[in-house]
Structure 1
Amino acid sequence: MGDRLVADGIVERLTAWGVDRVFGYSGDGINPVLGAIRRAGRPAFVQTRHEENAAFMAVGHAKYTGGVGVVLSTQGPGAVHLLNGLYDARMDSVPVVAIVGQQSQTVLGSAYQQEIDLQSLFKDVASGFRQQVNSAEQAPMVIDRAFKAALATRSPAVVILPHDIQQEPAPELEHEHGVIPSVALWSPGVVVPQEQDVHDAAALLNAGSKLALLVGQGARDAQEEVVALAEKLGAAVVTSLLGKPYVDEALPYAAGTMGHLGTSASGWVMANCDTLLIVGSNDPWTEFYPPPGAARAVQIDSDAKAIGNRYPVEAAVTGDAAFSLRQLLPLVSQRTGWLADVERHVSAWRSLSEARAFTAADPVNPERVVRELNGRLPADARVAVDVGSCVYWYARQLHLPRGVPAHLSSTLASMGCGVPYGLAAKLSAPERPVVVLSGDGGFQMTGVAELITVSRLWRQWANPVFAICILNNRDLAEVSWEQRETESEPRFEDSQELPDVDYAGYAKVLGLDGMRVSSADDVSAAWERALAADRPFVLDFVTDPDVPLLPPFPGGKALAESMEEALAAEGNAHRLSLLREYVRLEEEAQL
């Protein structure tokens, strides 16, 4: 086929936007675009095992690189499969462009095979931009607007491409009415706050005596400014789950992650501060904020819609986090504040987390598995985290070296993101080691399939280290503990029990490597072996599902009582004794 098609023009536009890889799965609805990618030789096409995982990879690509993730799918079922990953992008504020095939325009409305109303399907998830291309002339403009919308709104944009449009000859755009030229160019600029807003924020902060900063992912480029302001104010620093990689948790006033899965130090800080500065966070765990009225609050965010979205703030600074903090810094007074109290509680939390990790379990305590990664995680590593109980142990036990990114499906909290995210991290920087933290539930959901993708691609990587840690407890543990905590319900075995799979053996069948670890004494050596392996390595840690997912005390005390009531109904003495031991450790750590 010698003629240049609309599909070729679309691929050229992707290249103009700097897209170096797209994730997806083939199908007749998108085959002309795939043919154009083959002819052009770029961008690289990454074939996944399922469109949902392709969408997760596009989200992961955007998170690790700071660019736009791109995913391709066919019409009908392929389009439907994208939704979970696209909602992940929407809820974690990540720019993704989905290019979705559609049946030819001539059959739309006939209830044709795989015909779905894609405009309606994507109406919510891509409310910022979704558009069907209805003419050849329209295609480049729609692609350009999709990228600009994704970047401007930090959300998914969807382009729907009917099959017949993809096959049309690419026209030379004339300078005439009804033809809109566009360009693949984006300049984000910096949102500069109003001077009076910064002065109002400084006055409020200067009036406080027990200050806390809640730092989210919006502070990713303001890490030095956060430290400078915290040290001048004598403030504690707490992070959202998404903000965890952007604060050095070795700092003596860094109280860790907030929320149900957070630290007891963060719980104490948020319950006792009298002034709160929220920087680039939209964390939904509102019950773990200070009680409304207990603390005066300032919020800095580049998105005006986020101001006051989670807590009743008195001062709003709409602006880039780093710029706004630099403007604020000379206006606040130097003080030591309540640092002595904060540091005592941070120290107590660190002792508690160590005691919990080394509490005896049957056979291995999952907290110890994650804790043993500390000091072994390479300084240039990338970390991907699945959803489930593993997130609790990541939030509480893993201290990320400065500059090591870690990402997960946070706000959507979708199981199955771990291996797809890890693949996106590796493909965008194949020279860097990758560690994936997953539960067996999340791994069975998507990891088993995408390990095939790993086996297909790994020989191309400059650094073969790709360590997948599976916390294999044969239970959907987070939900089991949620049932006990919020419903006072005993575990429902038919719902919660998972099959025990030989994950290491499966890895070896695929030409990879792995080992099963069922003794706490072997955990550290297993990590070292995986991080030195000459190929991707699956660590199958046989962990105890009875290690409780306690929320931070003192607020978590009442919830622990609900758990105990449910465990008494289960009649499992081991679970009950572990819960009581964890409660004892929590109570002893309270200052």
Structure 2
Amino acid sequence: METTTSQVLISRLADWGVDTVFGLPGDGINGLMEGLRRNADRVRFVLVHHEEAAAFMASAHAKATGKIGVCLATSGPGGIHLANGLYDAALDHAPVLAITGMQETSVLGTGYQQEVDLTKLYADVAVYNQLVVNPQQLPGLVDLAIRHAYAGRGVAHLCVPNDIQVAAAGEDPYQHVAPANPPHTAPIYLDPPVRPRDEDLDRAVHLLDGAGRTAILAGVGARGAGTLVEVLAETLGAPVVKTLPGKMVLPDDSPYTTGGLGLLGTAPSEELMGDIDTLVMLGTNFPYTKHLPEPGKVKVLQIDLEPARVGTRLPTDVPLVGDVAATLEALLPRLRRHADRGHLEKYQAAMRDWRAKMTALQDPDRDPIAPQYLAACIDGLASDDAVLCCDSGTIATWAARHFTIRGEREFYLSGNLATMAPGLPYAIAIQHAFPHRQVIALQGDGGFAMLMAEFSTACRYQLPITVVINNNNSLGQILWEQMVLGYPEHGVRFGEPQPDYAAWARASGGFGARITAPGDLRQALAEALAHPGPALLDVAVDPNEPPMPGKVNYQQAKKFATAFLHGQPHRAAIATTLFKDKIAQLRGDS
């Protein structure tokens, strides 16, 4: 059987250690599908229902494993569908390779059916973006694409026309000055040096030794360096704030952390940012600058692998370009220990108070079910090595505050893109990569509905994921954003009839249950987590529970009140919920 270009492409992916490709077939990639069939012993193909899900899966695979994630889509609309998931990978710096089809080279530019120039479409999202026009370009272009994805921590794209896909691997329709490819060798990618220069470390020591009240802001770039971050916190007497993507950098019960920052963060973290003279930023490009100290008011030290990101958010006194772990290993032995513990102890006390208030909101007797209680049940029943895949919306608030990182737990969501719908595809991809770990997808009803067909994908592959829907029958985050902006509620409640997602789960071949009473929740969740295959729990939660910021400023309160009093059709129910929350917190204080 003649070896085709597609076989060479897929085989080269396998040489790079790729064992899974997520995608959906189409007539624009039939040659590539045949290449996958002929390499089925080395690379498995995971069939999805929507290409957007395939891209989310590739993104999640890259985030969770650190290895290249690969997705495949047909020409035209298939490639267009990939875009949202590819932007998720790009904005969160996850290495992903997208492979798409294209019409035969002989008809390009003629307005042929489904002819979309995907290289132009991906020009903004891809760090490497190439149309393959000659079989001789492979496997060299695969090597270059993957190296660019790793080096640029982003998306690479190869677009392969139909006739190139099925061409003989050795075919060379053109004369070349030199061979297009070097001799076939084992693929290799080497990370660049990651330790800052000694003179830069000396500047960092000078700044930190002279610091008074210091805070550390740790992002996902500090993942794996948690022990070193705690040593830095102990040395400086500095509380540690975690970005939401960096939630798993430190355990949530660490004596050094004040939790998250911003709308989904904690009051102690918000207060801390206004009570420091020095900020250490570790592997983060936190975009919400209004929650950071006022520029110029504090000294800033920033550690990041990407030189272009250093100084993006705040004027930076000492930039250190390097890996967080390697940099801290070089820096810590040079620092003196700060004897004054008053600053750290102040925020340790504030966090004890905050945790008590959050626990008070996890009321099992509230009816309708409090979303805080739902998140707390997941937290209490999940294993110590559970992976939580969170969607965007109000559920990100409940997960941030009520799902605790402990043991080997991990937490993933769409960070900078903050798109809806990735929770379920993330869970599928991560369960594929780690079949023996407990994987949970926490989604809102709005996000789940967008890609709910992928639950049947989980059933087809018998993946033991647990999907929990925080169902407020609305676009909850948008509802509260409208109120904070002072707008009357509009277009955010779905109304009746409500879809029966539990019935969909059972029809797909999985476990499905709908919970409306708080007394039934914990047992039903335990059953779902124990189910050997895919399970779904559709939980009707209080739709009037506001995801309040950790610290409400005057303008937010004023606009909320304006919307509340003028045109808010559910103000009585919301007022009741807010009253119950306050009573619960007061009881927690007593």
Question: Under a length normalisation based on structure 2, what TM-score does the superposition of the two structures give?
Answer: 0.94
Equivalent residues in 2 for 1:108-187 (5 A)?
108-126=108-126, 128-171=127-170, 177-181=178-182, 183=185, 184-187=187-190
Cα deviation, 1:400-439, whole Å, max 9, x if unaligned, reads 2232121111110110001000000111111211111000
Cα deviation, 1:174-201, whole Å, max 9, x if unaligned, reads 9961523275211214412011111111
Q: Which residue of 2 aligns with 1:261?
A: 264
Q: How large is the RMSD of aligned CA atoms in angstroms? A: 2.1
Moved more, 88-97 or 165-174: 165-174
- Residue type of the partner of 1:76? G
Q: Which residue of 2 aligns with 1:33?
A: 32
The alpha-carbon distance between structure 1 residues 587 and 199, as it changes in their structure 2 partners (threshold 3 A), is: farther
Which whole-Å CA distance do the structure 2 matches of 1:210 and 1:527 have between them? 44
Q: Shift of residue 84 of structure 1?
A: 0.2
Q: Shift of residue 289 of structure 1?
A: 0.7
Any gaps of 5 or more consecutive residues in structure 2?
none
- The answer to whether 1:278 aligns with 2:281 is yes
SS at match of 2:160: strand
- Residue type of the partner of 1:530? A
Which whole-Å CA distance do the structure 2 matches of 1:310 and 1:497 have between them? 41
Which whole-Å CA distance do the structure 2 matches of 1:588 and 1:312 have between them? 43
Q: Shift of residue 54 of structure 1?
A: 0.5
Q: Which residue of 2 aligns with 1:564?
A: 561
SS at match of 1:152: helix
Which whole-Å CA distance do the structure 1 matches of 2:237 and 2:388 have between them? 31
Q: Which residue of 2 aligns with 1:80?
A: 80
Q: Which of 520, 523, 530 is matched with 2:521 structurally?
A: 523
Which whole-Å CA distance do the structure 2 matches of 1:382 and 1:176 have between them? 52
Q: Which of 410, 420, 436 is matched with 2:425 structurally?
A: 420
Moved more, 178-187 or 560-569: 178-187
Moved more, 500-509 or 77-86: 500-509
Q: Which residue of 1 aligns with 2:535?
A: 537
Which whole-Å CA distance do the structure 2 matches of 1:279 and 1:194 have between them? 17
Q: Which residue of 2 aligns with 1:477?
A: 476
Moved more, 78-87 or 429-438: 429-438
Q: Shift of residue 495 of structure 1?
A: 6.3
The 8 Å contact of residues 386 and 408 in structure 1, kept in 2 or not, is answered as yes
Which whole-Å CA distance do the structure 2 matches of 1:469 and 1:315 have between them? 44
The alpha-carbon distance between structure 1 residues 586 and 156, as it changes in their structure 2 partners (threshold 3 A), is: farther
Cα deviation, 1:33-66, whole Å, max 9, x if unaligned, reads 1111112213100010000110001001111111
Q: Shift of residue 561 of structure 1?
A: 3.2
SS at match of 2:453: helix
Q: Which of 366, 370, 374 is matched with 2:375 structurally?
A: 370
Q: Shift of residue 72 of structure 1?
A: 0.6
The alpha-carbon distance between structure 1 residues 163 and 172, as it changes in their structure 2 partners (threshold 3 A), is: closer
Q: Shift of residue 520 of structure 1?
A: 2.1
- The answer to whether 1:454 aligns with 2:458 is yes
Q: How many residue pairs were aligned?
A: 580
SS at match of 2:136: helix
The 8 Å contact of residues 255 and 263 in structure 1, kept in 2 or not, is answered as yes
Which whole-Å CA distance do the structure 2 matches of 1:498 and 1:543 have between them? 16
SS at match of 1:372: helix
SS at match of 2:537: strand
Q: Which residue of 2 aligns with 1:509?
A: 507
Q: Shift of residue 24 of structure 1?
A: 0.5
- The answer to whether 1:345 aligns with 2:350 is yes
Q: Shift of residue 22 of structure 1?
A: 0.1
Cα deviation, 1:63-93, whole Å, max 9, x if unaligned, reads 1111000001110000100100110011000
Equivalent residues in 2 for 1:20-419 (5 A)?
20-41=19-40, 42-126=42-126, 128-171=127-170, 177-181=178-182, 183=185, 184-335=187-338, 336-337=340-341, 338-358=343-363, 361-419=366-424
Q: Shift of residue 506 of structure 1?
A: 1.7
The 8 Å contact of residues 132 and 161 in structure 2, kept in 1 or not, is answered as yes
SS at match of 2:380: coil
Which whole-Å CA distance do the structure 2 matches of 1:66 and 1:360 have between them? 42
Which whole-Å CA distance do the structure 2 matches of 1:212 and 1:22 have between them? 42
Which whole-Å CA distance do the structure 2 matches of 1:558 and 1:359 have between them? 33
Any gaps of 5 or more consecutive residues in structure 1?
none
SS at match of 2:86: helix
The 8 Å contact of residues 409 and 417 in structure 1, kept in 2 or not, is answered as yes
Which whole-Å CA distance do the structure 2 matches of 1:530 and 1:494 have between them? 29
Question: Under a length normalisation based on structure 1, what TM-score does the superposition of the two structures give?
Answer: 0.94
Which whole-Å CA distance do the structure 2 matches of 1:477 and 1:210 have between them? 38
The 8 Å contact of residues 388 and 410 in structure 2, kept in 1 or not, is answered as yes
The 8 Å contact of residues 360 and 588 in structure 2, kept in 1 or not, is answered as no
SS at match of 1:346: helix
The 8 Å contact of residues 567 and 576 in structure 1, kept in 2 or not, is answered as no
